[in-house]
């Protein structure tokens, strides 16, 4: 499951030219850069999923898609010339539907075309329940350092309710094989599932901890527009029960040594996801593949790009060097919201100087909103030993993140 980077709020005018309104100054150094690679196919579309993923009714055009990704990357590299890439993330969709040979070819070209750091984190998302597990050793040989598995639940009742193609046994087998193959493994688990009891949600948390992965992501099931679950909602636990599930899951994870560092992210010491941390600290990312998003900083502007969303359109355009279908500068008055929307997901908060480094704006641009949020008890502002101003969401701010972010809109 990829992290959701909401960008719809970026601008109502996608082709906004670089006007005085969008120009920023003071962006002295570009932030760290990550590479996201989108694989847009799944064995079956899950009824709650609003990602850009398509059921592969026919054979996946693996070779053609790899060629398109390489052409896309070649076309994009002048925008990030000379900048080191600190992490790569294969997301989807189900990247593990691709062969190890295909992943190897993509990563070889990433190394040839960009200065990929020698110790870069390279994550690949995998789903249990298909031939995926047979690929794991090949992915590792290709350079993948971290596997993220879409477990969602260890209980067949809820896996069926979610329309997943794997069962409990396959979930366990995939997780165990991943643990035996990779040093770093993330398990994605969901809670507040259709008709889920508190006891069953906690049982999933305990089983995930017992596998001892380096990282766990726990997501609250949400009903996203334009999904079958949104049109015909299943019976879900009420808000109070969901809140208790969340609290008790966090306690179980803490007891097992997982640090809650981001809204949905829990990690063993030193095992946070570098790629996701780059999103939450408003770093740059180049996204290639169907529908992928990019955010790239320059000395006078920060731009966003999207690529053609449908795999067929992407395949057709990427090989002609036309993968990008939309590009715009983030208006400066929206940078405060864009930054805080990401950074306030971090439970430890952020140093206010990071806001200036990443946006090129003075801290006074958000001081009124910070004071307002502090008054409401949603965040704190304090000085640390190095005299840095640390902005930290309170427990209430973490629970009511949307309300907190509204203040910066």
The interaxial angle of helices 352-359 and 335-343, nearest 10 deg, is: 130
Q: Which is nearer to ligand SF4, 45 or 140 (CB)?
A: 45
Stretch that binds ligand SF4, among 39-47, 131-139, 263-271, 386-394 (CB under 6 A): 39-47
Q: Which is nearer to ligand SF4, 94 or 281 (CB)?
A: 94
- Residue environment code for 234-251, b if the CB has 16+ CB neighbours within 10 A, otherwise e: eebbeeeebeebbebbbe
- Two tokens at 41? 């196919």
Sole binder of ligand SF4 in the list 22, 87, 99, 127 (CB under 6 A)? 127
Q: Which is nearer to ligand SF4, 93 or 213 (CB)?
A: 93
Sole binder of ligand SF4 in the list 24, 32, 53, 338 (CB under 6 A)? 53
Among 341, 214, 295, residue whose Cα is nearest residue 36: 295
* CA torsion, ordered 337, 341, 342, 346, to nearest 10 deg: 120
Dihedral sign (CA 42, 44, 46, 49): positive
Site string for ligand SF4, 288-317 (x = CB under 6 A): ------------------------------
Dihedral sign (CA 217, 223, 227, 229): positive
* Dist CA 179 CA 173 (whole Å): 10
331: contact with ligand SF4 by CB under 6 A: no
Residues 186-215 that bind ligand SF4 (CB under 6 A): none
Give min distance, CB of 150 to ligand SF4, in A: 6
Contacts of 245 (CB under 8 A, 6+ apart): 191, 192, 196, 198, 201, 202, 237
Burial of residue 47 (CB within 10 Å: 0-12, 13-18, 19+) is: middle
Stretch that binds ligand SF4, among 20-28, 49-57, 130-138, 141-149 (CB under 6 A): 49-57
51: contact with ligand SF4 by CB under 6 A: yes
Q: Which is nearer to ligand SF4, 130 or 359 (CB)?
A: 130
Stretch that binds ligand SF4, among 44-52, 96-104, 107-115, 276-284 (CB under 6 A): 44-52
Sole binder of ligand SF4 in the list 7, 11, 30, 45 (CB under 6 A)? 45
Order of strands, sheet of 265-267, starting from the edge strand that comes earlier in the sequence: 259-262, 265-267, 215-220, 184-191, 146-152, 116-126, 85-92, 33-39, 284-288, 293-298, 301-307, 324-329
Q: Which is nearer to ligand SF4, 85 or 178 (CB)?
A: 178
Give min distance, CB of 224 to ligand SF4, in A: 10
Q: What is the DSSP string of 46-95?
A: -TT--SS-EE--S---HHHHHHHHHHHHHHHGGGGTT--EEEEEEEES-G
Give min distance, CB of 8 to ligand SF4, in A: 19
Q: Which is nearer to ligand SF4, 92 or 397 (CB)?
A: 92
Q: Which is nearer to ligand SF4, 93 or 283 (CB)?
A: 93
Give min distance, CB of 16 to ligand SF4, in A: 31
* Dist CA 80 CA 352 (whole Å): 26
Q: Which is nearer to ligand SF4, 109 or 220 (CB)?
A: 220
Give min distance, CB of 378 to ligand SF4, in A: 31
Q: Which is nearer to ligand SF4, 80 or 147 (CB)?
A: 147
Sole binder of ligand SF4 in the list 10, 27, 35, 46 (CB under 6 A)? 46
Q: Which is nearer to ligand SF4, 40 or 360 (CB)?
A: 40
Number of amino acids touching ligand SF4 (CB under 6 A): 11
Give min distance, CB of 12 to ligand SF4, in A: 28
- Two tokens at 123? 């994550």
Judge whether 216 and 173 are in contact, CB under 8 Å.
no
H-run or E-run covering 150: strand 146-152
Residues 134-173 that bind ligand SF4 (CB under 6 A): 150
Stretch that binds ligand SF4, among 48-56, 204-212, 265-273, 299-307 (CB under 6 A): 48-56
Q: Which residues pair with 391 in a beta bridge?
A: 350, 381
Site string for ligand SF4, 86-105 (x = CB under 6 A): ------xxx-----------
Among 232, 355, 352, 313, residue whose Cα is nearest residue 52: 313
Q: Which residues pair with 125 in a beta bridge?
A: 148
Q: Which residues bind ligand SF4 (CB under 6 A)?
A: 42, 45-46, 49, 51, 53, 92-94, 127, 150
């Amino acid at each position: 499951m990829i992290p959701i980077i909401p960008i719809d709020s970026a601008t109502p005018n996608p082709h906004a030219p670089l006007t005085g309104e969008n120009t920023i100054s003071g962006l002295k150094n570009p932030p760290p850069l990550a590479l996201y690679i989108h694989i847009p196919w799944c064995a079956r579309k899950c009824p709650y999923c609003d990602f850009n993923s398509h059921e592969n009714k026919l054979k996946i055009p693996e070779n053609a898609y790899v060629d398109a990704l390489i052409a896309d990357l070649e076309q994009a590299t002048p925008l990030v010339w000379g900048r080191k890439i600190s992490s790569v993330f294969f997301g989807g969709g189900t990247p593990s539907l691709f062969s190890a040979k295909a992943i190897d070819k993509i990563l070889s070209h990433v190394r040839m075309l960009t200065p990929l750091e020698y110790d870069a984190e390279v994550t690949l998302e995998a789903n249990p329940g298909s031939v995926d597990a047979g690929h794991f050793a090949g992915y590792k040989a290709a350079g993948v350092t971290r596997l993220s598995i879409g477990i969602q639940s260890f209980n067949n009742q809820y896996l069926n309710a979610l329309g997943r193609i794997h069962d409990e046994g396959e979930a366990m087998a995939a997780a165990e094989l991943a643990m035996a193959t990779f040093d770093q493994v993330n398990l994605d688990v969901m809670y507040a599932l259709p008709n889920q009891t508190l006891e069953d949600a906690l049982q999933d948390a305990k089983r995930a901890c017992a596998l001892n992965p380096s990282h766990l992501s726990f997501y609250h099931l949400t009903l996203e527009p334009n999904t079958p679950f949104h049109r015909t909602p299943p019976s879900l636990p009420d808000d109070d029960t969901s809140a208790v599930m969340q609290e008790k899951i966090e306690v179980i994870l803490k007891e097992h040594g997982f640090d809650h560092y981001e809204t949905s992210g829990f990690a063993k010491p030193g095992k946070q996801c570098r790629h996701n941390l780059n999103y939450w600290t408003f770093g740059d990312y180049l996204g290639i593949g169907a529908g992928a998003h990019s955010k790239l900083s320059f000395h006078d502007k920060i731009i966003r790009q999207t690529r053609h969303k449908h795999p067929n359109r992407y395949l057709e355009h990427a090989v002609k060097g036309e993968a990008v279908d939309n590009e715009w500068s983030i208006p400066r008055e929206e940078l405060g919201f864009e930054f805080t929307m990401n950074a306030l997901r971090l439970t430890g908060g952020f140093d206010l100087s990071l806001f200036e480094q990443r946006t090129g704006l003075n801290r006074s641009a958000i001081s009124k909103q910070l004071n307002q949020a502090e008054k409401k008890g949603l965040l704190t502002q304090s000085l640390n030993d190095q005299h840095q101003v640390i902005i930290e969401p309170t427990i209430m701010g973490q629970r009511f993140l949307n309300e907190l972010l509204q203040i910066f809109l």
